[in-house]
Amino acid sequence: MIVHDLVITAFVALFIGGLIGTIGIGGVLLTPWLTHVVGLPVREAIVISSFAFIGTGLVAIAISMKSLRDQSTLNWPVVLTTVPGALAGTWALAIIPAPLALALLAVLTIGVGVRSLTGRESAVAHVAKAPSRPGVPVGAVTGFASALTGTGGPMVMMPILLWQGTPLREAVLLGQAVQLPIALTASAGNLYVGGVDVVAGVAIGLLLIPGALLGHRLATYLPLTVLTRLVGVTLIAAGVSFACKAAS
C-alpha cells in the first residue's frame, strides 16, 4: 500500500475499530474496503487485515481480563483452540482460488447481517435459552474461518455464541478475545507462506486501536439494538459486494 492509500484508510479504520469495540463485529468491513476502494488483491487484503487485528486483539484481551474480576467470561480452551484452526485457515488461503474465498466471505457476512436484522430482538437480547458454555470446536471453526477470510474472529464466533444462548456481553468479550491468537497465528502463517505488508498492517492496526477503545466505552451508554441493526445493514451490503466481485 502507498501513503495515499493509508491516509484515506485512516478514518475508515477508526470507524471499524469503533464497531469492533462496541459490538464485536466490525473487522469484516476492513477486507471489503481494501479490495473495493484501495484496490488490493483479495489475498493481500485478507493478509493485511489479519495482521492489523493484532492491535485490537491486545486491547480485547486486556478488557476481557479485567472482566474476570466479576465472572469467568474468558473461556481459555476455546480461545486457545483458535490457533490450530487459524493455521488450517492460513494453509487453505494459500491454495483456495480468490473467487471462492470471496464467495465464502460473502456468505458469512450476509448471514451475520441477516441474523442481526431478523433475529428475535436483534440477537442483542438473545437470552431466552439457558446459556451453554461453548466447546473447543467453536474455537477451531472460528480460527479457520477467520484466518481464511481475514475477519478477525468475532464475526464468526459471536453468531455461534448467541445461537447457543450466551448473553451478549459475554459473547462480545469472548469474540473480541479470540482476535489476538487468530491474528498472531494467521500472520505468522502468512509470513511463512507468502509474506505480509507489515507497514500497512501496523499502520492500520494502530488506527484500529483508538476506535476500539472508544467503542468499548460507548458500548456502556449506547443502545446495542440500534447499533446491531445498523451493522447488520452494513454487513449485508459488504456481503453483496463480495458476491458480485466473486461472480465477475
What's residue 128's pLDDT? 42
The 10 Å Cβ neighbour count of residue 68 is: 11
Tens of pLDDT, residue by residue over 27-81, are 878 888 888 888 888 888 888 988 999 988 888 888 777 765 544 556 788 888 9
- pLDDT, one tens digit for every residue, the chain (248 residues): 566 666 777 888 888 888 888 877 778 788 888 888 888 888 888 889 889 999 888 888 887 777 655 445 567 888 889 999 999 988 888 788 777 877 877 887 788 778 778 765 444 444 444 445 667 788 898 899 888 877 778 877 877 777 777 777 777 778 888 888 998 988 888 888 777 888 888 989 999 999 988 988 887 777 767 767 777 787 788 788 778 877 86
Cα separation, 32 vs 66, in Å, equals 32
Cα separation, 118 vs 124, in Å, equals 11
What's residue 1's pLDDT? 59
The 10 Å Cβ neighbour count of residue 75 is: 22
CB 179 within 8 A of CB 56: yes
Mean pLDDT score of the chain: 79
What's residue 208's pLDDT? 92
The 10 Å Cβ neighbour count of residue 241 is: 16
What's residue 70's pLDDT? 47
CB 39 within 8 A of CB 25: no
**Which pTM value belongs to this model?**
0.76
Cα separation, 2 vs 14, in Å, equals 19
Domain ranges of the chain: 3-247
Query: Position of cell 436484522?
Result: 117
Distances from the Cα of 133 to the Cα of 174, 177, 218, 226, angstroms: 11, 16, 27, 27
Q: Which residues contact 186 (CB under 8 A, 6 or more apart)?
A: 47, 50, 51, 86, 89, 90, 146, 147, 150
Cα separation, 126 vs 220, in Å, equals 18
Cα separation, 58 vs 181, in Å, equals 9
- 172 closest CA partner among 152, 143, 147, 150: 152
